[in-house]
Amino acid sequence: MRKLKLQIQMTIDGFVAGQDGEQDWIWLAGPDESGFQKIIELAESCDTILLGRKMTRGFIDHWENMADHLPDNPAYPLARLLVNMRKIVFSRTETTITGRNLAVENGDLATAVQALKKEPGKDIMVYGGASFVSSLIDQDLIDEYFIITNPVAIGSGLSIFKERKILKLESSTAFKNGKVLHKYLPV
């Protein structure tokens, strides 16, 4: 059975975005080539991306623009990979959203995710947004958590954990820019 993997950036005080969804703090540590390579490796282990409706437009526009117009950008290889992957947007309100290799799912979240896990293929990745990821966590649908802790505190913001969740640390990798990639498994 395929696994649902969460890859998300988080501040040291536990937020995945500012109060209004700001993520400018992600870039404060600066680039790290080995960290970026790990992100590509994680993406390559998957063939499907799950998205919440609220973050979809920005995600699609950003990566499609980079894949189409910015071949000199260091993130270009990731952009091409993400654009070519199957993407499923979960929405209660929209039935059609434009984007390459993109479908909209309006059904029950747990039922749809369990069906996707049973399909043949590589693993499934979710990058966000905060409320969508919280829904996946609340329903115990995430199999592996890849949390990239950034060396910055923002004081308040959006969290993906709404209640106590015990996770088992499987590995940690520190990068030169101060970010740390923690892989956790549900207990």
Contact status, residue 85 vs residue 102, Cβ threshold 8 Å: no
pLDDT in the model for residue 14: 96
pLDDT in the model for residue 29: 87
Q: What is the arrangement of strands in the sheet containing 4-11, beginning at the earlier edge strand?
A: 102-105, 86-90, 46-52, 123-126, 4-11, 144-150, 180-186, 167-174
Task: List the CATH number of the domain containing 109.
Answer: 3.40.430.10
Domain that holds residue 149: 4-186
- Cis, peptide link before residue 129, omega less than 30° from 0: yes
CA angle 7, 11, 17 (to 5 degrees): 75
Tokens of 66: 């980079």
Count: domains in the chain: 1
pLDDT in the model for residue 103: 96
CA atoms of 135 and 54, how far apart (whole Å): 13
Q: What is the pTM of this model?
A: 0.95
The predicted-structure confidence for 62-99, as pLDDT tens digits, reads as follows 999 999 999 999 999 999 999 999 999 999 999 999 99
The predicted-structure confidence for 32-58, as pLDDT tens digits, reads as follows 888 999 999 999 999 999 999 999 999
